[in-house]
Chain A
Amino acid sequence: MKHVNDLLSDYLDGGLDAAERAAVDAHLVDCAECRGELEQLKSVLAWSKSAAKTPPPSGLEARLHARISRERTPAGRGRWWVAPGVLGTALAGYLAFLYVRAPQVTEHMIEMDRAHAPGPERFEQLPPPAPAEAEARAARAQAQAKAAERNEENRAARREAASLNGKSEATRSMAPPAPKPVPPMDELSSAPAVQPAAPMADLIGAESGASGGGGVGASNFLAAEPMAAKKAARDFTEPEPTMQSTEWRGPRCAIAKQSLLVIRSADEWRRLWRKAGLLPPAPPEINFDLHLVVAAFAGRDPQGRTIELLPAEPSGSEVTVPYRLVPGGGGETTAYDIKLLPTTPLDVRFTEETPAK
């Protein structure tokens, strides 16, 4: 009998009829290869089942309920009745435009507009004005929704930019246009003023094929979504200091190589924190849906200088993160400055600020 590889899956599921099953049983007695495959298959499936057990993230149910609640409100679900109003307004605007340009046709079209504009009954359906407290609550909810929407747009723009460039998001964020050797500390001051982030793989090892050059230039993203890039630049603001730390800075860490990095995932963040040997051993929690991390490591410096990241600024198609070396004098340093920024689809570039002569 020929091998039974094609039947093993059905055999495992008990999907064979009695005759087929007996034939497979008989074959397995004699064929070590098929027996081996069956054993492998059983082990791999059992392993996969146990590896797949994943509890949902905490708070997921509440977030889903909140999202559905938005759908339940008239504003969320009422596209069917909002639509005529929106269309009417748009039509009115268009008619006004035509009125200026071609007064001879407006009379007829204004009649049409009256037919489409929202009637008084629409306004009667609106709820009475909310009391002050409810208004404040609504404003807060609106602000939160807006922030979530902006974040969603950012994520979508990043996903789309990554897709457009055929790269995974992790690859896109980590890989500069062309990996180059990290200059030694002595050369840092004479290095080009604008520097892309170093490849993550160089420093903490790539786990998912993020190494290699050919990163995404901002120009590709801009070519595809110029408006989105402009909006992203407009929306970019550094976070206000809160109870939670947004910056970690010190004169010594375990990274002795000069590096400038952008971190966009919890996995990379964990590895970087471990590699830098910072305390506490567990890295601070960061929501990478909302933030990214920029990190500057000055490398080993006998002159004892430290490094400081200055406020980031959007500039055209990218976000510029200036940094400077601060003179010290307390012996050799391996200084670092790590900072949270709001997530952005724009490329992040580092620029060195040299002290005024």
Chain B
Amino acid sequence: MSKQSFDDVLHEEHAKIYALCLHLTGQPAEAEDLCQEAFVRAWRAWKSFEGRSEVSTWLYRIAVNAWRGRLRKNRILRFVGLFRGSSDGDAPDPEAPEPAAPAEALGRAMEEEERRRLLHAALAAMPVDQREVLVLRDLEERSYEELGAILGVPIGTIKSRLNRARDTLRRRLAPALGLSEPTRS
């Protein structure tokens, strides 16, 4: 089978890669920046791409790596600049905005943007490794095998991260969505 042209790949995949970048960063401008960086990196590596994995999996991996590179850079700058707080990037972002209060969320129909803001606030409050698996599995609907290839970790690790990530998301969003507390037995 002949290799697709890079232009076709860009045409077919850019929306998915942008969505991934948006869910990882939570900021439209930063997402576009990251998406551009991912496609530039992909273009530079395009000649060496042999098609052993799906092109979308390959692109997802590039985008996730680009994002991790940015996180590392920011973490070093923050550490050098402040000498305070944890330098562990897996910790939740303390600046993450709180989800809307339940009454507020219940009291009005949420607009799309408001819903996205709420979702991204919950994602931003999550440790990085959990955020990655949750975005790829539940929002981008990738299989466990693809997650393994994208993140470079065993499926067992992915499952346990996903379990924790979903639990974190549930605890954070359920009150904002007005879902009743499970009965304690």
In the complex, B2 has a CB within 8 A of chain A = no
Contact check, A33 vs B182: say whether CB atoms are below 8 A apart: yes
Q: Whole-angstrom distance from the CB of A213 to the nearest CB of chain B?
A: 15
**Contact among A5, A9, A15, A163 with B74 in the assembled complex (CB-CB below 8 Å):** A163
Contact check, A49 vs B139: say whether CB atoms are below 8 A apart: yes
**Contact among A13, A31, A67, A288 with B29 in the assembled complex (CB-CB below 8 Å):** A288
**Contact among A32, A44, A224 with B182 in the assembled complex (CB-CB below 8 Å):** A32
How many pairs of residues, A versus B, come closer than 8 Å at their CB atoms? 149
Prevailing SS type, chain B contact patch: helix
Which residue numbers of B lie inside 8 Å of A, CB to CB? 6-7, 10-11, 14-15, 18-19, 22-23, 28-29, 32-33, 35-36, 39-40, 43-44, 74, 77-78, 80-82, 84-85, 95, 97-98, 112, 115-119, 121, 138-139, 144, 159, 162-163, 166-167, 169-170, 173-174, 177, 179-185
Contact check, B11 vs A61: say whether CB atoms are below 8 A apart: yes
Contact check, B177 vs A44: say whether CB atoms are below 8 A apart: yes
Q: Which residue of A lies closest to B183 (CB)?
A: A32
Contact check, B163 vs A64: say whether CB atoms are below 8 A apart: no
**Contact among B10, B118, B166, B174 with A68 in the assembled complex (CB-CB below 8 Å):** B10
Q: Which of A164-172, A177-185, A332-340 contacts B (4 or more CB under 8 A)?
A: A164-172
Contact check, A54 vs B95: say whether CB atoms are below 8 A apart: no
Q: Whole-angstrom distance from the CB of A164 to the nearest CB of chain B?
A: 3
Contact check, A5 vs B14: say whether CB atoms are below 8 A apart: no
Chain B residues with Cβ under 8 A from A288's Cβ? 29
Chain A residues with Cβ under 8 A from B40's Cβ? 67-68, 71
In the complex, A18 has a CB within 8 A of chain B = no
In the complex, A209 has a CB within 8 A of chain B = yes
In the complex, A125 has a CB within 8 A of chain B = no
Give the A interface residue count (CB, 8 A): 57
Chain A residues with Cβ under 8 A from B173's Cβ? 44, 47-48
| Interface hits, A12-32 → B, CB 8 Å | 13, 15, 31-32
Contact check, B163 vs A9: say whether CB atoms are below 8 A apart: yes
Chain A residues with Cβ under 8 A from B80's Cβ? 164
Known: A8-B163, A34-B182, A56-B14. 12 other contacts (CB 8 A): A9-B167, A33-B184, A41-B170, A52-B23, A60-B18, A61-B14, A67-B36, A68-B6, A68-B10, A164-B81, A166-B78, A207-B97
Report which residue of A40, A77, A165, A289 has the largest number of chain B beta carbons within 10 angstroms of its beta carbon: A40
Contact check, B78 vs A208: say whether CB atoms are below 8 A apart: no
